[in-house]
Structures are given as structure tokens and as C-alpha cells.
């Protein structure tokens, strides 16, 4: 094993770059994820800064989506999934006993790869979270919240006359913005985005990317993307995953111009991935 080292398994035990920062919104330490016997994430530690956009890149199956789903405990819904280590949101361990996944997910929202509006009206899609959590006390407040959220997701002008038509009838890009609108309607602190534009055309993608930058003024955003250009365009920091290991984290500029790790360089220069 030791004498047959290929260029790919050079020192992947240590994350290169600057995984740790001050004033972190989320800090993950020594996270490991298992599906039954199979290990999907190895000893991963990273800090995610407040009001930043952090992009997670890496080849398919590298564990970036799995890691993302740990951040709002979405992996709880998969029975065979086990998580070790520690993830703190504002210095509270989100996997602690007293921590409630429902409350956590209200604080850490998520947008998925494929737009998944509920088969309800556009209005009800956006109002869903607020109604669940009892965030508004009357119809006027709710109307107001729906309008504001749609506005901030840049969708309101397109749908203001069709609020009671089904959300599934919108175009792909509009559906994705609807999903973003319904996420920000409950005013989370962090928004996780799992390849949010991979099912969209370039124009819709551009609209979403603009929206992300706009939203990062208020929210902390973690985005998983398979597009390095997207990571370069929107994120302040970029993390590179490889086969379940977090290889390198750094300012986006540094990662793309001066990667420390050979694997990162191979990936961003397009030698594989």
C-alpha cells in the first residue's frame, strides 16, 4: 500500500487551505457519515462564515451533497444513515439531544436539485412554512409575507395574477425560485442549496445566481454545485471534496488561481471530474 502511492492519495487526511475562520455561523468538526457499513464522509472539519456564500465542489459521488444534508439533519430521514462528529450552528450542537430537527430545519432552509414545489397553489406553497410554524397571526400578515417572499425571490411580478394557480404549472426556473421563496418565507438563518440550477437552462440559472448574491446579504448560503464557473461567480469561499474527504477550503479566488492540493488542481484544470 505504502510503496504504491498514486498521485491521488497524497495526504488526504489533512484539509488544505483555511478550513477554520473566526465568527463562523456553522462549524463542523470531525464529521463522518456512514450508510450501513459504507463510509461516505471521512473526518471532515470546516467553518462556514456568516453571510457568506460557500460553494462545495467535487466530482460526482464525492460526498458534497451528503455533507450538505448533514447541516440541516435531512439525513435523519434515511434510516441506514449514521453521523459522527460535531456540527455547531451558532455554537449549539445540532445533533445534541435537546436540539429539535423541526426547529433546526426552520433555521436552516434547503433548496433542492430538482425544483419540488408542492402540488398546491403558488400562494399555498409560499405560505406553507409560515402556516406550519404559526409565524403569522392573521390573513393580512400572511398575504403580506407571501408577497414579500415572492418579491425577494424575484418571482412576484411574474405570478402576481396567478397566485392561486398550481405551483407545478410554472416553468423550471420559476419553480426553483418558488422553492426559494417558500424557503425564505420562514426567514431562516442559513440556506442550503443542492445543485439548485443543474436542472435549469442558462438564463434561469443566471437569474438564480443573481438572487443568491442578493440573498447573501441577509443569509448564510451553502451551495453544492457541479459547475466550477458557478462556484467562481457566486461564492466567497470554496470547498473541494474528493471521495468523501474534504481536500481543500479557501477563498474562492485562491482555490481557482492557486490551489494547494494536487487533487484540487487536477479537478479545476479539468483533468478529471
Scanning 117-125, 141-149, 229-237, 259-267 for contacts with other proteins by CB under 8 A, the matching segment is: 117-125
Paired residues of 26 in beta bridges: 48, 89
> Residue 205 interacts with other proteins (CB under 8 A)?
no
- Pairwise CA distance, residues 183 & 153, whole Å: 10
Taking the complex as a whole, the smallest distance from the CB of residue 15 to other proteins amounts, in Å, to 27
Q: Which one, of 29, 63, 58, lies nearest residue 46 by Cα?
A: 29
> Residue 112 interacts with other proteins (CB under 8 A)?
yes
> Residue 105 interacts with other proteins (CB under 8 A)?
yes
Q: CB under 8 Å to 16, separation ≥6 — which residues? A: 247, 248, 249, 250, 260, 261, 264
Number of residues that bind other proteins (CB under 8 A): 36
Select the residue interacting with other proteins from 96, 132, 151, 213 (CB under 8 A).
132
Instruction: Please give the grid coordinates belonging to residue 72.
Output: 440541516
Scanning 3-11, 16-24, 179-187, 249-257 for contacts with other proteins by CB under 8 A, the matching segment is: 179-187
Collapse the DSSP code of 51 into the 3-class scheme (helix H, G, I; strand E, B; otherwise coil) and give the result.
coil
Instruction: Please give the grid coordinates belonging to residue 186.
Output: 420562514
> Residue 95 interacts with other proteins (CB under 8 A)?
no
- Pairwise CA distance, residues 239 & 248, whole Å: 6
Paired residues of 246 in beta bridges: 241
Select the residue interacting with other proteins from 109, 173, 196, 259 (CB under 8 A).
109
Taking the complex as a whole, the smallest distance from the CB of residue 147 to other proteins amounts, in Å, to 16
Which CB sits closer to other proteins, 53 or 108? 108
Backbone angles phi, psi at 246, to 5 degrees: -85, 110
> Residue 72 interacts with other proteins (CB under 8 A)?
yes
**Is residue 87 within 8 Å of residue 107, measured between CB atoms?**
no
> Residue 246 interacts with other proteins (CB under 8 A)?
no
Taking the complex as a whole, the smallest distance from the CB of residue 135 to other proteins amounts, in Å, to 6
Which CB sits closer to other proteins, 11 or 90? 90
> Residue 157 interacts with other proteins (CB under 8 A)?
no
Scanning 39-47, 112-120, 138-146, 150-158 for contacts with other proteins by CB under 8 A, the matching segment is: 112-120
Cα 33 from chain centroid (whole Å): 17
- Nearest-5° Cα angle at 193, 245 to 209: 115
In this structure, the number of other CB atoms found within 10 A of the CB of residue 40 comes to 21
> Residue 94 interacts with other proteins (CB under 8 A)?
no
> Residue 135 interacts with other proteins (CB under 8 A)?
yes
Taking the complex as a whole, the smallest distance from the CB of residue 9 to other proteins amounts, in Å, to 34
Q: CB under 8 Å to 71, separation ≥6 — which residues? A: 26, 28, 87, 94, 108, 190, 192, 222
Collapse the DSSP code of 90 into the 3-class scheme (helix H, G, I; strand E, B; otherwise coil) and give the result.
coil
Scanning 128-136, 139-147, 227-235, 243-251 for contacts with other proteins by CB under 8 A, the matching segment is: 128-136
* Binding region for other proteins (CB under 8 A): 72, 74, 77, 90, 100-107, 109-110, 112, 114, 116-120, 128-129, 132-135, 179, 182-183, 186-189, 192, 218
Amino acid at each position: 500500500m505504502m510503496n504504491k502511492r498514486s498521485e491521488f492519495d497524497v495526504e488526504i487526511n489533512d484539509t488544505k487551505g483555511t478550513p477554520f475562520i473566526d465568527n463562523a455561523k456553522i462549524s463542523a468538526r470531525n464529521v463522518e457519515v456512514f450508510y450501513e457499513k459504507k463510509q461516505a464522509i471521512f473526518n471532515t472539519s470546516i467553518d462556514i462564515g456568516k453571510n457568506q456564500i460557500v460553494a462545495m465542489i467535487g466530482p460526482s459521488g464525492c460526498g458534497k451533497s451528503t455533507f450538505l444534508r448533514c447541516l440541516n439533519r435531512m439525513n435523519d430521514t434515511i434510516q441506514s444513515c449514521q453521523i459522527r462528529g460535531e456540527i455547531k450552528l451558532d455554537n449549539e450542537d445540532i445533533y445534541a439531544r435537546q436540539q429539535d430537527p423541526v426547529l433546526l430545519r426552520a433555521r436552516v432552509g434547503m433548496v433542492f436539485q430538482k425544483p419540488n414545489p408542492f402540488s398546491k397553489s403558488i400562494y399555498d406553497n409560499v405560505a406553507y412554512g409560515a402556516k406550519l410554524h404559526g409565524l403569522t397571526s392573521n390573513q393580512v400578515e400572511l398575504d403580506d409575507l407571501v408577497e414579500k417572499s415572492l418579491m425577494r425571490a424575484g418571482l412576484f411580478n411574474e405570478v402576481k395574477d396567478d397566485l392561486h394557480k398550481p405551483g407545478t404549472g410554472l416553468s423550471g426556473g420559476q419553480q426553483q425560485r418558488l422553492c426559494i421563496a417558500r424557503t425564505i418565507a420562514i426567514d431562516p438563518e442559513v440556506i442550503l442549496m443542492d445543485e439548485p440550477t443543474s436542472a435549469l437552462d442558462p438564463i434561469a440559472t443566471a437569474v438564480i445566481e443573481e438572487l443568491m448574491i442578493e440573498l447573501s446579504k441577509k443569509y448564510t448560503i451553502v451551495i453544492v454545485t457541479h459547475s466550477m464557473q458557478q462556484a467562481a461567480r457566486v461564492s466567497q469561499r470554496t470547498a473541494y471534496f474528493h471521495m468523501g474527504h474534504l481536500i481543500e477550503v479557501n477563498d474562492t479566488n485562491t482555490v481557482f488561481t492557486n490551489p494547494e492540493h494536487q487533487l484540487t488542481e487536477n479537478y479545476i484544470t479539468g483533468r478529471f471530474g
